[in-house]
Amino acid sequence: MAETRETRVLIIGSGPAGYTAGVYASRAMLNPILVQGIEPGGQLTTTTEVENWPGDTEVQGPDLMVRMEAHAKAMGTEIIGDIITDLDLTKRPFTAKGDSGTTYIADAVILATGARAKWLGLPSEEKFKGFGVSACATCDGFFYRGQEIVVIGGGNTAVEEALFLTNFASKVTLVHRRDELRAEKILIDRLMKNPKIEPMWFHELEEVVGTENPLGVEAVRLRHSKTGEITEIPAKGVFVAIGHAPANELVKDVLETHMGGYVVTKPDSTETSIPGVFAAGDLTDHKYRQAVTSAGMGCMAALEAERFLAEQGEGETSLPLGYGAEVANSAAE
Ligand code: FAD
Ligand code: NAP
């Protein structure tokens, strides 16, 4: 039977932003409900070593997210395995519909739906998705033991994926459309020192070539970005790592977005154009897109939601002493 759940704060998303919002909203006694979505734990569950989460020199992405979930739960966040399919922000309380049939009614909403892998949009990429073409090395790398693999892209994700795939592959070719990587220096250094990785500069994927029956990848056809010359190299796996786009489907028609769909928030705030609706993490961040910045924004969103609800006269605020005064001071400057 379809259920209706009421909550002061509904958090949509279970990445670092969502779970951190859960920790803070719980400690503010708001009894938040957090809906996890299709990827419980978010993007970090698709990687291995995370080396820039403060306090952990190295931690596995999935382990970190299990810990964050446990932390939010221990503080009092109710965590629900559901996907929000429809969100009505036209009037308060806000209404969200879950794929499970549950309706969520909330006084405030924290959007933390993050980002999803981008695809090139080639027909051959679509055809071989799941049959040799992937966007997740940690999920699918194991299938390519002893094989030749191609990674497309030049950012942190592409370089990390290429490095990770050397655990399985006989050779990894990193195909990038320029001759300069935008990945962090430490990762570039590791890439250049890895004998199994060969960068192919100024090349773009033209076509994935493979067999029909069974469906499988055999080669990639690459186009030189400058000369247009076509080269074909063998590959059993193709990993597309060309960046991520904000998961804005629920709100793109009602909230202002910019820079390719990122939700606009007020400066130094997670407030959106609708009072009571806050956005945190990669959904709103076209610049940093890191776990730690997402977690920071999740904290801000919960504190701002708490203040918003207190101002609406629907609850007592438990913001730390001095928090309001500090804001008043800076506003007066
Ligand atoms: P996400 O982690 O993207 O989580 C979004 C959440 O929203 C998911 O749980 C999803 O299920 C949920 N959701 C989406 N739509 C709905 C819906 N309709 N209903 C309910 N829930 C929904 N950053 C670092 O700092 N260090 C790293 O080493 C690092 N490595 C990375 C490696 C890879 C391969 C990738 C892809 C990213 C990496 N990042 C790293 C970036 C980091 O993962 C992101 O910045 C961070 O996860 C963003 O957190 P978030 O909470 O905004 O969203
Ligand atoms: P990104 O930084 O946006 O890089 C995307 C790469 O793909 C760029 O090199 C880009 O080329 C290339 N590209 C984009 N569209 C393309 C196309 N149509 N054809 C060919 N190449 C294309 O994305 P990302 O690497 O996924 O990283 C996303 C965010 O997550 C970043 O903020 C990153 O720092 C973070 N992240 C962090 C870590 C870490 O801290 N260890 C790990 C992974 C991700 P150009 O360079 O020419 O534009």
- Calculate mean pLDDT across residues 183-202: 98
Contact (CB, 8 A) for 304 and 271: yes
Q: What's the pLDDT score for residue 48?
A: 86
- Calculate mean pLDDT across residues 281-298: 96
Using DSSP's 3-state secondary structure scheme, residue 219 falls into strand
Rounded to whole angstroms, the Cα distance separating 255 from 272 reads 7
Rounded to whole angstroms, the Cα distance separating 261 from 248 reads 7
139 is catalytic: yes
Bond into 123 cis (ω within 30) = no
Q: Percent of the chain, pLDDT > 70?
A: 93
Do 4-116+245-332 and 119-240 agree at the fold level?
Answer: yes
- Calculate mean pLDDT across residues 186-194: 98
**Is the CB of residue 247 below 6 angstroms from any atom belonging to ligand 1?**
yes
Contact (CB, 8 A) for 109 and 278: yes
Contact (CB, 8 A) for 292 and 54: yes
For residue 270, which ligand has an atom nearest its CA? Answer: 1
Count, residues in the chain: 333
Query: What confidence tier does 279 reach under pLDDT thresholds 50, 70, 90?
Result: very high
136 is catalytic: yes
Q: What's the pLDDT score for residue 1?
A: 63
| Phi and psi angles of residue 4, each rounded to the nearest 5 degrees, phi first | -120, 130
Contact (CB, 8 A) for 168 and 144: yes
Q: What's the pLDDT score for residue 315?
A: 41
Average pLDDT of every residue of the chain: 93
* Residue with token string 């609708």: 274
Using DSSP's 3-state secondary structure scheme, residue 200 falls into strand
111-149 pLDDT per residue, tens:
999 999 999 999 999 999 989 999 999 888 999 999 999
Please tell me the pTM assigned to this model.
Answer: 0.88
Q: Which residue in 311, 318, 314 sits closest to 275, CA to CA?
A: 311
Rounded to whole angstroms, the Cα distance separating 253 from 236 reads 40
**Is the CB of residue 165 below 6 angstroms from any atom belonging to ligand 1?**
no
Residue with CA nearest ligand 2 atom 24? 243
- How do beta strands 262-263 and 257-258 pair? antiparallel
**Is the CB of residue 39 below 6 angstroms from any atom belonging to ligand 1?**
yes
Rounded to whole angstroms, the Cα distance separating 305 from 30 reads 9
Q: Which of 56, 63, 99, 140 is catalytic?
A: 140
78-121 pLDDT per residue, tens:
999 999 999 999 999 999 999 999 999 999 999 999 999 999 99
Q: Which of 56, 63, 99, 136 is catalytic?
A: 136
Q: What's the pLDDT score for residue 321?
A: 32
Query: What confidence tier does 49 reach under pLDDT thresholds 50, 70, 90?
Result: confident
The CATH number given to 4-116+245-332 is: 3.50.50.60
CATH class of the domain comprising 119-240: alpha beta
List the chain domain ranges: 4-116+245-332, 119-240
The burial of 118, by beta-carbon neighbours within 10 Å (0-12 exposed, 13-18 middle, 19 or more buried), is given as: middle
